[in-house]
A and B are shown apart, each in its own frame.
Chain A
Amino acid sequence: MAAQVTFYLLPEEGSPGGPSSAQLYACQLASEYYRKRQSLFIYCAGQTQAEQIDELLWQFDPARFVPHQLQGEKSRKRPPVEVGYQASQQGFHILINLTDEVPEFAGQFRQIFDFVPADNSGKEKARSRYKNYRAAGYELTTQPAQFAPTETE
């Protein structure tokens, strides 16, 4: 059975310099699905982005804690969430894609989360990914991103 791809429609970006709304929403999804006992791989465009995600997850309020590691970190007991920018090892339920492409290894996941940014260039790239997923036979849905109220720290 082909995997399901969900595209989340993102709101306008917040303050420049801060994390993008795609990054924030990726972390929220990781927290939500970790609590549903799913394992996730967050695929980033490069090391900088991977470390940003790592930082965001670590700064989450303890109630939304996400046990995770960066690709290349070694744990005796692999955490349920991994963040990286290279092809993932087998064994995660869900892929969260933060890159502009459809990952070549996307086929191994049951479920894929992807994003449609509010800006035009981002939208354009998302549209092309959408086409590529469809061409590859994935089942596609689209829905607005719903941010949980963030903790005040």
Chain B
Amino acid sequence: MSEIDKIFAADGQLAAAVPGYQPREAQVTLASTFYQTIKAQELLIAEAGTGTGKTFAYLLPAVLSGKKVIVSTGTKNLQEQLYHKDLPLVKKVTGQRIKSALLKGRSNYLCLNRYKLHKAHPHLEDKQLYKDLREVEEWASRTQSGDVGEVASLAEDSRAIPLVTSTVDNCLGRDCPDYEDCYLVNARKKAQAADLVVINHHLYFADIAVKDTGFGEILPDSDVVVFDEAHQIPDIACEHFGERLSTRQLIELAKDIETLYRSEYKDTKQLGKASEQLSKSCRDFRLAFPILAEKGNWREKGQQSDVQAELDNLVKTLDFLHDVLKANLSRGKELDNCFERATEARDKLALLIRWEVEDVSLWYETSVRHVSLNLTPLSIANRFSRIRTDKEQSWLMTSATLSVDGRFDHFTGILGLKDYRSLELESPFDYYNQSILCIPRYLPEPSERSAIEAMLTVAEQLIEAAQGRCFLLFTSYRVMNLMAKALKKRIANPIFVQGETPKRELLDKYLQHDDPVLLATGSFWEGVDVRGDALKCVLIDKLPFASPDDPLTEARIENCRRKGYNPFRQIQIPRAVITLKQGAGRLIRDVKDSGVLVICDPRLVTQSYGEIFLASLPNMRRTRDLKTALMFLKNTETNNG
């Protein structure tokens, strides 16, 4: 019996430490296969359905291996759960005294220098901001980690956060008077020295991007890398392999230069002029775009004459600013920092207007006041596969949703992964008896005008049968808001709509009621874990195909077509399958859960690609009869009551 088998056995160490522990075949298979992978320095790609217990399955072998390990996961919440809940248990079970560390991105840590600056100049004019900063102040005196997330009363989007944290742009680095006490530096040092570091994907790829430019790396060298929630990797890697420049950054730069000009460099009139010009060019550049916020094709837009004129203006302004700052080099740390930022912005803009470069998508996005220009590579296979093979490492990439129709080709193709072992581990849940998948009859296709009214009628019946306790998940804000408005008139249940409050708070409120209904889009399709009777029914408005209007999707589709493939089959279906699997995964979270999944999109039944979706979803009992689904909801109610 191997070491792994012993730990996971019915009378093993895990059973001794976890009350009610039962060996699960899938979990043991994943653990022992990963253990072999570690020894052989291979790549293991494993889909582990909900409830297989994949966290222990990788943490135990990773810790037992005695090697340096990085565990990267999807979100900060998951990082914390892993670090504070799962890892201590694993340490206890294995008896290994390993050093571990939790490392988050820069914007999570208190920047003492900036904090002191804002403490000295209180923002009295903004009450909420003032209050938030006072909370930070109270906490700052006693924090060990400097992780701003510890200030529970602070909203995720509090305006205090950017004031008391740093960015790569405004960090003074080694020149900072508070460098010795810097929370970020200390967290990184701790991570460097640790045997096991828990990070998130954004941090991992930000670090890779930094390495590429030749600057120092943050993450320690490691022998083993685990990517949990690995289905997010393609998009996140793509984002970090691209370039982005926004007028917001430029205006911040202009403001910083202006502050310096007014305080320390009053004699240097050119600084004042250059910063003023930059602010003005940015504003004019924004005005070259339509008033309403939008996303679009930058390659086309940037070459239109009216936009081109403002663009030329912006390029000239940045050149001028660069020259002015260069002439004033070595006069002060802050000013030198501005020179570096101006140089970087100038170089980035040059990359963003190379219209002739193929294999990248150039797109823009506008908000009320700002424009961002973006470059996203269409293929990351070469670059990603080098990350895999550069070092002699063992990798695990795992998630509940990686395969499409029983194959991993889609995932490995995007990432250029060739040598790997794969595992598909089924969830231990009895989906056939615990759940129903219903595509109601006679529903119009989602693009039809009558679709919303039909969906309302379905939703209303489900909400009644399940006594609230429904998630209605949407592929667009537009439909979500229409449904929310109409439902509020028709039902008495408490209704919670995404956007009203932050995600975690919205879920807390949902859980406080007996018969709540939650309407949400994007971020709620993933990582929401509501167990038991609090969630009986999930309704999905349509198959989550990425909108071809999105400039990045459009570019990917076009690129695929140029290469002679069918973009619908190659790109849109696989992505939609993974998203739908995630959304459907919200329903059954536990062995005892039961519930109904309703998808208001007849194309799942009528179109040939329905086969791929069905083969990729858990084996729920299927019906087209809404009454059957309603009966199921009512019956489970009486059973439990």
Q: Which residues of A contact B (CB under 8 A)?
A: 51, 54-55, 58-59, 62-63, 65, 67-70, 72-77, 79-80, 153
- CB atoms of A70 and B441 under 8 A apart: yes
Which residues of the partner chain B approach A63 to less than 8 Å between Cβ atoms? Answer: 615
- Known pairs A67-B607, A153-B619 / 17 extra A-B pairs, C-beta < 8 Å: A51-B441, A51-B625, A58-B605, A58-B622, A59-B623, A62-B614, A65-B608, A65-B611, A67-B605, A67-B611, A70-B441, A74-B448, A75-B603, A75-B606, A76-B447, A77-B607, A79-B606
A55-B624, A62-B614, A75-B602 are contacts. A70–B608 as well, Cβ < 8 Å?
A: no
Which residues of the partner chain A approach B447 to less than 8 Å between Cβ atoms? Answer: 76
Please, how many angstroms separate the alpha-carbon atoms of A84 and B432 in the complex? 28
- CB atoms of B624 and A74 under 8 A apart: no
Please, how many angstroms separate the alpha-carbon atoms of A65 and B615 in the complex? 9
Which residues of the partner chain A approach B442 to less than 8 Å between Cβ atoms? Answer: 70, 72-73
Shortest CB-to-CB span from B245 to chain A, Å, is 40
Contact of B432 among A51, A58, A77, A153 (CB under 8 A): A153
Which residues of the partner chain A approach B603 to less than 8 Å between Cβ atoms? Answer: 75
Shortest CB-to-CB span from B349 to chain A, Å, is 43
Please, how many angstroms separate the alpha-carbon atoms of A72 and B381 in the complex? 46
A68-B606, A70-B442, A79-B606 are contacts. A51–B615 as well, Cβ < 8 Å?
A: no
Residue of A whose beta carbon sits closest to that of B448: A74
Which residues of the partner chain A approach B441 to less than 8 Å between Cβ atoms? Answer: 51, 54, 70, 73
Q: Is B514 an interface residue (CB 8 A)?
A: no
A58-B439, A153-B619 are contacts. A73–B624 as well, Cβ < 8 Å?
A: no
Which residues of the partner chain A approach B551 to less than 8 Å between Cβ atoms? Answer: none
Contact of A58 among B443, B444, B615, B624 (CB under 8 A): B624
Q: Is B234 an interface residue (CB 8 A)?
A: no
Which residues of the partner chain B approach A65 to less than 8 Å between Cβ atoms? Answer: 608, 610-611, 614-615
- CB atoms of A59 and B622 under 8 A apart: yes
Shortest CB-to-CB span from A85 to chain B, Å, is 14
Residue of A whose beta carbon sits closest to that of B623: A55
Residue of B whose beta carbon sits closest to that of A67: B608
- CB atoms of A54 and B614 under 8 A apart: no
Residue of B whose beta carbon sits closest to that of A79: B606
Considering only residues 436-456 of chain B, those with a C-beta below 8 Å from chain A are 439, 441-445, 447-448
Which residues of the partner chain B approach A55 to less than 8 Å between Cβ atoms? Answer: 623-625
Please, how many angstroms separate the alpha-carbon atoms of A62 and B611 in the complex? 6
- CB atoms of A51 and B624 under 8 A apart: yes
Residue of A whose beta carbon sits closest to that of B603: A75
Shortest CB-to-CB span from B438 to chain A, Å, is 10
Which residues of the partner chain B approach A68 to less than 8 Å between Cβ atoms? Answer: 605-606
Please, how many angstroms separate the alpha-carbon atoms of A123 and B602 in the complex? 37
Shortest CB-to-CB span from B437 to chain A, Å, is 9
Please, how many angstroms separate the alpha-carbon atoms of A143 and B625 in the complex? 34
Shortest CB-to-CB span from A46 to chain B, Å, is 15
Shortest CB-to-CB span from B566 to chain A, Å, is 15
Which residues of the partner chain B approach A79 to less than 8 Å between Cβ atoms? Answer: 605-608
Can you list 14 residue pairs at the A/B interface with Cβ under 8 Å?
Answer: A51-B625, A58-B622, A58-B624, A63-B615, A67-B606, A67-B610, A68-B606, A69-B605, A69-B606, A73-B443, A75-B445, A76-B445, A77-B607, A153-B432
Shortest CB-to-CB span from A117 to chain B, Å, is 25
Residue of A whose beta carbon sits closest to that of B616: A62
Which residues of the partner chain A approach B615 to less than 8 Å between Cβ atoms? Answer: 62-63, 65
Considering only residues 388-447 of chain B, those with a C-beta below 8 Å from chain A are 432, 439, 441-445, 447
Residue of B whose beta carbon sits closest to that of A74: B444
Which residues of the partner chain A approach B622 to less than 8 Å between Cβ atoms? Answer: 58-59
Please, how many angstroms separate the alpha-carbon atoms of A70 and B602 in the complex? 11
Which residues of the partner chain A approach B443 to less than 8 Å between Cβ atoms? Answer: 73
A67-B606, A76-B447, A153-B432 are contacts. A58–B623 as well, Cβ < 8 Å?
A: yes
Shortest CB-to-CB span from A54 to chain B, Å, is 6
Which residues of the partner chain B approach A74 to less than 8 Å between Cβ atoms? Answer: 444-445, 448
The 5 nearest A-B residue pairs measured at CB: A65-B611, A62-B615, A62-B614, A79-B606, A75-B606
Please, how many angstroms separate the alpha-carbon atoms of A72 and B607 in the complex? 16
Please, how many angstroms separate the alpha-carbon atoms of A68 and B442 in the complex? 12
Residue of B whose beta carbon sits closest to that of A78: B606
